[in-house]
Structure 1
Amino acid sequence: MEKLAIIDMGSNSIRFVVLQIADNKSYSLSYQEKESIRLGQGLNQTGELGEDGMQRALTCLKVYKHIMEVMDITNCIAVATAAVRSAGNGDAFLKRIYAETGITMTVITGEREAYLGYLGVINTIALDNFLIFDLGGASVEFTLVHDGEPVHSVSIPLGAVTMTEKFSLGSTIDPEKLQDCLKYIRKKISAVDWLKDTNLPLVGIGGTARNFAKMDQRATNYEMAKIHNYILHLENFEYLYDQITTRTSANRRKIAGLSSERTDLIVAGAAVIKTIFDVVGSQSLVVSGCGLREGLFFEYYAQYCHLAKPRFDDILDFSVKNFIGTLGGVVNAAHVQQVTRLTGLLFDQFQFLHGYGEREKLLLLTAARLHDVGKIINFYDHARHSAFMIGHAPLYGLTHREQLIAGFIAGFHHGISRKTIRAYRYANMATEEDWIMIRKLSTFLALAEASDLTYEQIVKDIHVTFAENVAVLVITTHAGATYNAADYEMKQLTKQFKKEFGITLLLVWK
């Protein structure tokens, strides 16, 4: 097993994560810490890092060094971004860090920061054409992505900390100063020609973007507290922007979801995001919880596992395999492969009956691949445990709703149960039409699961014929196979099939 520590020291916060790569090459996050250090405070006025900010950073780094010693971690990637990059005493501070902690920290360029953010996004969000911005305390990095590849990137010295200080936006807002700030930001961003009127979806990295997602979730009573891949629409952002910029400092703190650590920085951060919306012409912002740190890890992972590149071609397939790999062999691979294959065949054979397309099939197959993961909690009720785990697993390439739907489908792989329905915490995130689809598709999964009741993979092929309101499912087995148990189990689902599809299902074995 390989353990890797990553430290990301920004202008506002410092983050420390530990990831491990198992012998089967699956990876998982095992530790995380984050502190607000305000390293860039005062940088705009003096051009240097202040002693208080440096001392706060050193205090954290000494703790991180101790944690690495406790965890027996010898491999650490530590990077510093805009504050250290632009400070006159940045190099001296890095030497001081090494002298006092033994941690070797590297300053990365704005272009490399943008690229690492791109890697964090492209491997975790299923978009092909979009614009990334990574808003930190002292700078914002932009990356324009076409067909999944970065075509332009730039770093602009506009950050939540520096803009707050430059225009005195930390307490009660002077409308004139806010307008001056907006004009200043617009001038800087508009100077980059390829940012204008792209009309592409925005992907936002950084604490300000994440905090806007949290505020919007609270404002809209969003049931799930997941931030990564959350979609914030322009009209929702504008509502929050008005709330933030028109309230006094004391009343701003009452906004639900606004972090107490970010109350004084949120106005400047909001001004930057508003200007990005205006200049780019986007109508939505996809908030990413993955960025620079994940980019650093994916780069390391690709080298460690001898991959051709640090970008995964199919992020859903990769993340499903990775998640299964972290479960320590709890899933019977041959059984899952058989159930998934037969589930896909049933979907295709009954396509004339259900009318769903490739996206729905993808959700069904994802459910099939993960339907048994709940066994790691408890064999009993493992279908219900699987539903919960799928809904919260680090799976990439699906929307929040789609991931929950895949979990709901898996929850019925032993048949539809009212007990399971009552246990679904996020049931209201699926529409009535979604639940109709979930019940229909889960019937295919339940039939496929029943056909491999004995874990012998006896079914070779299936074929459907239809006549006079009866669907005949012809099941071909391998020579000499005993199918009595599978036949009995599948027949228990024919009543469910008729309820969901309105026709009789007849099983014929040969």
Structure 2
Amino acid sequence: MEKLAIIDMGSNSIRFVVLQINDNKSYSFLYQEKESIRLGQGLTQTGELSDAGMERAMKCLKVYKHIMEVMEIQNCIAVATAAVRNASNGDEFLKRIYAETGVAMTVITGEREAYLGYLGVINTIAMKDFLLFDLGGASVELTLVQEGEPVHSVSIPIGAVTVTEKFNLQGNVDAIALQDCLKFVRKKLLAADWIKNLRLPLVGIGGTARTFAKMDQRTTNYELTKVHNYILPAEHFDALYTEITTRTSANRKKIPGLSSERADLIVAGAAVIKTLFDTAGSPELVVSGCGLREGLFFEYYTSYFHLPAPRFDDILKFSIRNFVGTLGGIVNESHCQQVTHTAGLLFDQLKDLHGYGERERLYLTTAAQLHDVGKIINFYDHARHSAFMIGHAPLYGLTQREQLIVSFIAGFHHGISRKTLRAYRYANMVTAEDWAMVRKLSTFLALAEASDITYEQVVQDIHVTTAENVAVAVITTAPGVAYNAADYEMNQLTKQFKKEFGISLLLVWK
């Protein structure tokens, strides 16, 4: 077992996270702390870190050092970004940090900052082609990703803090100052002329991007509060941008989802994102809650286990395995593998009946792998607990809507129940068509679960033939294993099968 602390000291905020790597190669977050230190405040005018900003940072770092001592953490990766990188007294400040806390902090280049943000995104969002930006207090890092690989990357010295100070945007917005700001930002961004007319989605890292997700969620009454992988259409951004830039300073603070600590920086941050939208011609912004810190961790993790690269080929498969690994052996993996196999057989054999494709098959097999995780809360009614856990688990490779669909399928793995349906807080977040799919796929999962009721992996293969009003499932069993219990449990679900698919199900064992 290994514990690792990561400190990310930016121009606006300082973040501290503690992770644990377990002997089974799973990892989990143990602690997180974030403070707004405004380290870059005044940097534009003086070229130096202010005494007040450094004192705020030191106060946090001393607390973090104490937490590391209490948690007996020996290994700490600490990095500083644009504010320290650009300040004339940055090196002196790092020496002071080491002298007073023992934390050895490294200044990373803008290019490395961009690469770490890329690692944080590419390992947690299933996208191949996008324009990635990481907007901080004193810089924005841009990376063009094509076919999953970083093609171009640059760090541009404009950020929410520095642009706010340069154009005095923290109070009531002056229309002329805002137009000057937009012209300035556009000129700076066009240093990376490869961003013009990309027509690719934006993927945004940083507090400004997350704030826009939160504001849009409040505006649209979005029931989930999770911002990672939240999709913000361009027209939604434009509406929020107009609201932000036309309100008075006092009224701006009343916008739902906008925190008071970011209200003075949001105009400048919005101007940068607005310019990116317009210059790149992007249709949407996908918000990432993962970035530099996760990139640092993935580098460390893959090095720790001697993996070939800090990227995972199948991020959903990796995150499923990691999530299950953190549950302390509560999940019987051989049973879940058997249920997944059988559910897949039923899906494939009845494809002509349901008409779904590979994406829907992925929903089913993902639900099958995770259908028992709710046992860690309570064995009784664990299907409902599984649904809730899956809906909120750190699963990567699915959209938020898809993750909810998977959770709903798993929630019905003992059969469709009105009681379970009533318990779904997020039931209205998917369409009626989605619910019809959930009911069909959960029927396959329930049948597969019933087929392994004794945990003996009875079913080896299934071959289905369909006539006008009946589907005949010929089930090949493992040699020497009794199938009576499986036959009884599966037959309890034939009524549900007929209701969902419109034909009867006949089980034939051999």
Cα distance between partner residues in 1 of 2:456 and 2:345: 18
Question: 1:198 is aligned with what amino acid?
Answer: L
Normalized against structure 2, the TM-score is what? 1.00
The equivalent of 1:243 in structure 2 is 243
- In the TM superposition, 1:197-208 aligns within 5 A as 197-208=197-208
Question: 2:139 is aligned with what amino acid?
Answer: S
Cα distance between partner residues in 2 of 1:477 and 1:23: 36
The equivalent of 1:120 in structure 2 is 120
Matched residue of 2:237: which SS? helix
Matched residue of 1:258: which SS? coil
Matched residue of 1:72: which SS? coil
The runs of 4+ residues in structure 1 deviating greater than 4 Å are none
* Offset of residue 128 of structure 1: 0.5
Cα distance between partner residues in 1 of 2:205 and 2:309: 22
Question: 1:405 is aligned with what amino acid?
Answer: I
Question: 2:378 is aligned with what amino acid?
Answer: N
Q: Does 1:18 align with 2:13?
A: no
Cα distance between partner residues in 1 of 2:165 and 2:479: 78
Matched residue of 1:137: which SS? coil
The equivalent of 2:34 in structure 1 is 34
Cα distance between partner residues in 2 of 1:494 and 1:271: 58
User: What percentage of residue pairs aligned between the two structures are identical?
Assistant: 79
- In the TM superposition, 1:63-142 aligns within 5 A as 63-142=63-142
The equivalent of 2:473 in structure 1 is 473
Cα distance between partner residues in 2 of 1:467 and 1:404: 34
Cα distance between partner residues in 1 of 2:405 and 2:413: 13
The equivalent of 2:418 in structure 1 is 418
Matched residue of 1:262: which SS? coil
The equivalent of 1:161 in structure 2 is 161
In the TM superposition, what whole-angstrom CA distance separates every residue of 1:13-48 from its partner, at most 9, and x where no partner exists?
000000010000100111000000000000000000
Normalized against structure 1, the TM-score is what? 1.00
Q: Which runs of 5+ in 1 are unaligned?
A: none
Cα distance between partner residues in 2 of 1:467 and 1:264: 68
Question: 2:360 is aligned with what amino acid?
Answer: E
Cα distance between partner residues in 1 of 2:185 and 2:383: 52
The equivalent of 1:284 in structure 2 is 284
Question: 1:114 is aligned with what amino acid?
Answer: A
Cα distance between partner residues in 1 of 2:467 and 2:269: 64
- In the TM superposition, 1:384-423 aligns within 5 A as 384-423=384-423
Cα distance between partner residues in 1 of 2:234 and 2:504: 49
Cα distance between partner residues in 2 of 1:192 and 1:315: 30
The equivalent of 1:273 in structure 2 is 273
Cα distance between partner residues in 2 of 1:77 and 1:28: 17
The equivalent of 1:454 in structure 2 is 454
Q: Which moved more, 1:192-201 or 1:125-134?
A: 192-201
Matched residue of 1:261: which SS? coil
Matched residue of 2:232: which SS? strand
Question: 2:457 is aligned with what amino acid?
Answer: Q
The equivalent of 2:327 in structure 1 is 327
In the TM superposition, what whole-angstrom CA distance separates every residue of 1:216-236 from its partner, at most 9, and x where no partner exists?
000010010000000011100
Cα distance between partner residues in 1 of 2:456 and 2:326: 25
The equivalent of 2:233 in structure 1 is 233
Question: 1:64 is aligned with what amino acid?
Answer: Y
Matched residue of 2:472: which SS? strand
Cα distance between partner residues in 2 of 1:359 and 1:296: 31
The RMSD of aligned alpha carbons is 0.5
In the TM superposition, what whole-angstrom CA distance separates every residue of 1:219-278 from its partner, at most 9, and x where no partner exists?
010010000000011100000001000011000011000011101000000000000111
Equivalenced residues, count: 510
- In the TM superposition, 1:163-202 aligns within 5 A as 163-202=163-202
Matched residue of 1:260: which SS? coil
Cα distance between partner residues in 2 of 1:360 and 1:206: 32
Cα distance between partner residues in 1 of 2:365 and 2:260: 42
Question: 2:114 is aligned with what amino acid?
Answer: A
Cα distance between partner residues in 2 of 1:294 and 1:385: 28
Question: 1:267 is aligned with what amino acid?
Answer: V
* Offset of residue 468 of structure 1: 2.9
Matched residue of 2:335: which SS? helix
Cα distance between partner residues in 2 of 1:480 and 1:80: 64
* Offset of residue 191 of structure 1: 2.3
* Offset of residue 465 of structure 1: 1.1
